[in-house]
């Protein structure tokens, strides 16, 4: 049995890492195919180095472009490699253009597809990620749903029950593996002169926020109001997409501490010690919930409703006053919740299923 693991972006590298470790442990015949959707050192290579992952056998170096051009080039490149390498199974993770291209290329070649993190739904078709998720789930033969809720989403779309496996989310494995190492090795709090729970941590990069001037401006205004109200810093490791848009839209980010994207250990350390995390990222909503840090989501919906149900997260949208109100609400949270995304054995479970069933 031969497996192709497709990755392309920062979160896919992090969330595929537990599966890659398991493939290594089980001595499986597998290789990594990187589309090159992310390519700058701090969005890509740093994670291979820090997580000690093997080199991709192929990197298509597709880079950035419009959705159609990027996805089209990936489709062509992935098909060529799959035809040459003839794997039995392709594994994709999440909801990026890399995932959609991998699934489309594989399904037309009659190669089995396993979708890691299947069944997430925001029910917002304006998001490119929602289109990618729905299409990938419907191409897949094995759907690794993180929770019972994501399984139910798939059943509602008439996906056959015997294709669905509730496994938890590999992000729990990744966080558990790196949490202690992060506490031991990361000096980021010292470097930024921060004290535990005396700063807010922010990430914003989603297309619907960063590419929309008024939504992005609303968020930045809310962040500046937080600095004034609490008199503590707001730390924003900025994604290259958002960095470009701040310049293009000439937005005012004065007072907000913008820093370059961080490696995983530094970012975990900043999350773990933040007073509240504010984000539009999918992975960061999950991680803050796993780490027990309250989260304010800068969106009108989420495909991670489990985090809302247990009180770990709240939807604020992009209105400045609403953001400040939601932070005040989450800041008073003292109860602890149980992480709904599994016990940290998801990578192991998925590889076992791949070996036994596929």
Q: Which residues bind ligand UDP (CB under 6 A)?
A: 10-11, 14, 203, 205, 237, 261-262, 264, 267, 281-284, 287
* 252-288 burial: b if 16+ Cβ within 10 Å, else e: ebeebbeeebbbbbbbbbbbbbbbbbbbbbbbbbbbb
Query: With CB cut-offs between 5 and 8 Å by kind, which of ligand UDP, ligand UD1, none does residue 241 bind?
Result: ligand UD1
State in angstroms the smallest separation of the CB of 209 from ligand UDP: 11
State in angstroms the smallest separation of the CB of 356 from ligand UDP: 29
Q: Is 117 in the site for ligand UD1 (CB under 6 A)?
A: no
Q: What does the DSSP assignment read for 26-43? A: TT-EEEEEE--SS-SGGG
Q: Tell which one of 163, 177, 244, 352 touches ligand UD1 (CB under 6 A).
A: 244
Q: Is 40 in the site for ligand UD1 (CB under 6 A)?
A: yes
State in angstroms the smallest separation of the CB of 93 from ligand UDP: 10
Task: Give CA–CA dist 102/160, Å, rounded.
Answer: 21
Cβ atoms of 321 and 303 within 8 Å: the answer is no
- Total residues contacting ligand UD1 by CB under 6 A comes to 20
Q: Is 228 exposed, middle or buried (0-12, 13-18, 19+ CB in 10 A)?
A: exposed
User: What is the three-class DSSP state of 277?
Assistant: strand
State in angstroms the smallest separation of the CB of 243 from ligand UD1: 8
Query: With CB cut-offs between 5 and 8 Å by kind, which of ligand UDP, ligand UD1, none does residue 237 bind?
Result: ligand UDP
138 catalytic? Reply is: no
**Set 38, 115, 205, 239: catalytic member:** 205
Dihedral sign (CA 234, 240, 244, 245)? negative
Residue 323, phi then psi, degrees to nearest 5: -60, -45
Query: With CB cut-offs between 5 and 8 Å by kind, which of ligand UD1, ligand UDP, none does residue 261 bind?
Result: ligand UDP
CA distances from 245 to 42, 250, 291 (A): 18, 8, 30
Query: With CB cut-offs between 5 and 8 Å by kind, which of ligand UDP, ligand UD1, none does residue 287 bind?
Result: ligand UDP
Which residues are near ligand UD1 by CB under 6 A? 9-11, 37-40, 43-44, 64, 95-97, 128-129, 205, 239-241, 244
List residues with catalytic annotation: 205
């Amino acid at each position: 049995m031969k497996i192709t693991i497709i990755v392309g972006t920062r979160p896919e590298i992090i969330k595929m890492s537990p599966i890659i470790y398991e493939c290594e442990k089980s001595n499986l015949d597998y290789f990594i195919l990187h589309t090159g959707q992310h390519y700058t050192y701090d969005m890509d290579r740093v994670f291979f180095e820090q997580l000690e992952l093997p080199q991709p056998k192929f990197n298509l170096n597709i880079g950035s472009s419009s959705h159609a051009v990027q996805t089209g080039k990936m489709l062509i490149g992935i098909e060529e490699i799959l035809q040459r390498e003839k794997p039995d199974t392709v594994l994709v993770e999440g909801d990026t253009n890399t995932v959609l291209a991998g699934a489309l290329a594989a399904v037309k070649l009659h190669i089995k597809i396993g979708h890691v993190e299947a069944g997430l739904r925001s029910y917002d078709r304006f998001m490119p990620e929602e289109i990618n998720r729905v299409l990938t789930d419907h191409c897949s033969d094995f759907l690794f749903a993180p929770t019972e809720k994501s399984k139910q989403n798939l059943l509602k779309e008439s996906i056959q029950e015997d294709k669905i496996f509730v496994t938890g989310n590999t992000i729990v494995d990744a966080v558990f593996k790196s949490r202690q190492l992060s506490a031991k090795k990361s000096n980021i709090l010292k470097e930024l002169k921060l004290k535990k729970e005396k700063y807010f941590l922010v990430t914003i990069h989603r297309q619907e926020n960063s590419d929309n001037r008024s939504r992005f401006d609303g968020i930045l205004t809310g962040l500046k109001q937080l600095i004034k109200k609490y008199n503590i810093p707001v730390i924003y490791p900025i994604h290259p997409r958002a960095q470009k848009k701040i310049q293009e839209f000439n937005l005012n980010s004065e007072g907000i501490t913008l820093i370059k994207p961080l490696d995983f250990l530094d970012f975990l350390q900043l999350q773990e010690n933040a007073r509240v995390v504010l984000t539009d990222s999918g992975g960061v909503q999950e991680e803050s919930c796993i780490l027990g840090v309250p989260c304010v989501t800068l969106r009108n919906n989420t495909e991670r409703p489990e985090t809302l149900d247990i009180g770990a997260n709240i939807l604020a949208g992009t209105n400045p006053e609403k953001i400040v109100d939601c932070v005040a609400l989450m800041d008073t949270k003292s109860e602890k919740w149980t992480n709904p995304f599994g016990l940290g054995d998801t990578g192991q479970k998925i590889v076992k299923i791949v070996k036994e069933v596929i």
